[in-house]
Amino acid sequence: MMMLALLSCVLSLVKVEASTYIFNGTAGAQSSGISNTALLNSAFARMLPGDTLVVPNKTFWLAGGVRASNVINLTIVLDGTLSFLPGRKGWPTQDCAMGGNPLQPKKNGTCVQEAFFIANATGLTLTSTGTGKLYGSGNAWWGYIKYLIHGEDRPRLLSIVNATDVLVEHWLFEQSPYWTFTAFDVAGLEISHCSIDNRVNQDDAHDVWNLDALNTDGFDVAGRDIHIHDCSVWNQDDCFTIQPMDSRGLNAKCTENVLVENVNASG
């Protein structure tokens, strides 16, 4: 009995600390896109509550289909650039009705997966010590003819579905193939000091050439207790969009208590 009591005392003093992981993918090479994606998804699958993943200040190519699900108190520090391979060829697909993504097109058959998809998250922080970048190679997806052929079947650059207590700060989203940032069925979301740039060229105009990048929505949010501030959007569609929720939501039955302030928008 004394031995059991002593063991119980010792175990109660053991502290399990969160871990910090450095992403060690292959930098700079498009040919490493598939292997980098597998490595990143494997890292997310191993994350425990309170863990941090740091992407160092390098450029890592990815193949789309990056996924983090069922995460608790996860922090992603993006100090470099995550660039997604250009074009539809080789992009991962999934059954449109599967995958736990209510944002997919309502059709039979397959749809392209999102570039970066986060689902079922609590206590999520996306941050950077400088400015982290998600680069979507959007110019390979844009264009009137491509839109007529594929319609809405294009990947969002970042989608967050069913999440609570989320902070996104100091990230740059550039050249999204489709909608840029989507947060659906969230509660307690803050987006701070983030920028979206979906330009076809460097002209500061929404002319027929830049309209090639149509449907590149900026920040689309649906849920409750949402604060967006000190952000900017340059795109070819809605810039800051408050989307509806309904009774099917887990965290909100309607979109409410949303504040957007101190922002710049051109779309």
User: Measuring CA to CA, which residue among 134, 129, 122 is closest to residue 66?
Assistant: 134
Tokens of 172: 């740059």
Amino acid at 101: N
pTM of the model: 0.90
Whether residue 154 contacts residue 115, with contact meaning beta carbons closer than 8 Å, is answered with no
CA pair distance 181, 220, nearest whole angstrom: 6
Number of H helices, E strands in the chain: 3, 19
pLDDT at 90: 85
pLDDT at 4: 34
Bridge partners, residue 228, by sequence: 191, 260
The radius of gyration computed from the CA coordinates of the chain, to the nearest angstrom, equals 20
pLDDT at 1: 38
CA distances from 93 to 38, 64, 105, 134 (A): 15, 9, 12, 20
For residue 96, the 8-state DSSP code is T
pLDDT at 148: 83
pLDDT at 146: 84
Average pLDDT, consecutive stretches of 10 residues, N- to C-terminus, the chain (267 residues): 35 53 94 96 95 97 96 97 93 80 73 95 97 94 85 92 98 96 97 94 76 86 98 92 91 96 92
CA angle at residue 141 from 137 to 142, to 5 degrees?
A: 105
CA distances from 224 to 183, 190, 245, 257, 258 (A): 11, 11, 9, 6, 7
- Rounding to the nearest 10 degrees, give the CA dihedral for residues 45, 51, 57, 60: 0
Tokens of 157: 């650059």
pLDDT at 15: 32
